[in-house]
Copies of this chain bind each other. A is one copy, B any other.
Amino acid sequence: MYLRKKKIRLYETDATGVLYFAQQLKLAQETFEIFLESASFPLGVLLEKGEVLLPIVHAEADFFQPLRVGDEVELRLSLEKMGRTSFTLGCSFYKEEVLVGTTSIVHVVIEKAAWSSIQIPAALHQCLQTLQIG
């Protein structure tokens, strides 16, 4: 599991006064980027090399409580499932120890040139396993 704290900012909210729903998925994905970096797997380098991409094939989110500007959330990123060519990341959002939302995002590993799925590279596989719970 990887933990990250984050405060909700004005640009992430909308005129209803709360977090715009799609931003919750962005926050989860951003947490994955920060995790990759912490694991010496920076996305920027991956993009520059340009051989492998990790596009998202499925994403979902549940919203239990509205989040407002300045609210601090703790994001808990974990590996939900590891396949041969894809993996699923879960992210739970806590505000003062109360679960306020979750996301689940499925990435597939593809070779950029052919835009076809390939086996998860060993180094990435190892890195993702550190996200396993328990």
Q: Which residues in A have some Cβ–Cβ distance to B below 8 Å?
A: 7-11, 13-18, 20-23, 25-26, 29-30, 33-34, 37, 42-45, 47-48, 53, 55-64, 66, 68-71, 105, 115
Give CA–CA (A25, B105) in the complex, Å: 13
Q: How many copies of this chain are found per oligomer?
A: 4
A14 neighbours in B (Cβ, 8 Å): 10-11, 13-15
Question: What are the residues of chain B within 8 A of A16 when measuring CB–CB?
Answer: 10, 47, 53, 55
The A interface is mostly helix, strand or loop, or mixed, namely mixed
Chain B residues, Cβ within 8 Å of A115: 66
Please pick, from B7, B18, B33, B56, the residue contacting A37 in the complex, using a CB distance under 8 A: B7
> CB within 8 A of A9: which of B9, B33, B45, B61?
B33
A56-B21 contact given A9-B30, A69-B43, CB 8 Å threshold: yes
A29 contact from B21, B42, B43, B71, Cβ within 8 A: B21
Residues of B within 8 A of A30 (CB): 9-11
Q: Which single residue of chain B is at the shortest CB-CB distance from A64?
A: B57
By a CB distance below 8 angstroms, the chain B residues around A43 are 10, 69-70
Q: Which of B9, B33, B60, B69 contacts A60 (CB 8 A)?
A: B60
